[in-house]
Amino acid sequence: MTTARNFALATAMLGALAACSGGSHQGEGDQGGVFGALGQVAGQVVAERRGGGEAPAETAAPKSPQEAAAEALRVNQGPLIQAGFESLNRTQVMAMTGQNGALRTYMTPAEEALILRGGMLVGTRGLGNDLSVAEPQTEGLIRAGASGSGQRVMRYFSGDGLERPLQFACTVGAGPNPGVIVENCEGHGATFQNSYMVQGGQIAVSRQWIGPALGYVTIQTLRP
């Protein structure tokens, strides 16, 4: 029953974020449609495929989202998130593999990682065109559900191994749906919109921009 309630809540939250993420943003493409599709399958946990090579001659019937979620939560007893990478057309479970203070690293078996601070994306690893670190001055406003403005610095790894910072001017305010906070940012000829749903100061569900190459990731907490 707890799993069913969690997925019902996640469906409502992702649907609300989807409504807030509509519209056109430079460099974004038809992200609203993609995120809408994610909302329709909210809560679906795609278990990591085992091994490689050819598929077996006979395969089991596909699991329902609730069955797949229950299996993932049963197999790994630690903190879990579900991440949907829109530009990669991929949604998967990521398990926490390390913690340093408030920073948590969630990783796939392929060693692709997201680094989060209370649900706020602050870095990626192993995805290519990685975000070295994000420094959002707007984080306090987002967690408090307040309106205001601030700068966001996004540092990216370049081909020479150095960090290249990009600075954006951002505004934070209430979204069109209750409980949704939106962060609108612009700079360097690009605009993007992050959407958050905060519970007890922690970001439970969000849609956040990684960068110009990787685009958006939708992050849902499965187990805190």
Query: What percent of the chain lies above the pLDDT cut of 70?
Result: 69
In this predicted structure, what is the pLDDT of residue 77?
87
**Residue-wise pLDDT tens digits, 42-80:** 334 333 333 445 545 566 775 544 565 677 788 888 999
- Cβ atoms of 16 and 197 closer than 8 Å: yes
Distance of CA 208 to the CA centre of its chain: 6
Q: What is the 3-state secondary structure (H, E, C) of the chain?
A: CHHHHHHHHHHHHHHHHHHHCCCCCCCCCCHHHHHHHHHHCCCCCCCCCCCCCCCCCCCCCCCCHHHHHHHHHHHCCCCEEEEEECCCCEEEEEEEEEEECCEEEEECCCCCEEEEECCEEEEEECCCCCEEEEEECCHHHHHHCCCEEEEEEEEEECCCCCEEEEEEEEEEEECCCCCEEEEEEEECCEEEEEEEEEECCEEEEEEEEEECCCEEEEEEEEEC
State the pTM of this model.
0.75
Residue 154 carries which side chain, given as an amino acid letter? M
Fold (topology level) of 2-47+66-223: YmcC-like fold (2.40.360)
Phi, psi of 11 (to 5 degrees): -60, -45
Return d(Cα 26, Cα 42) in angstroms, integer: 26
**Residue-wise pLDDT tens digits, 79-110:** 999 999 999 998 888 999 999 999 999 999 89
In this predicted structure, what is the pLDDT of residue 78?
94
Residues 6+ apart with CB under 8 A from 46: 68, 90, 91, 92, 93
Query: What percent of the chain lies above the pLDDT cut of 90?
Result: 58
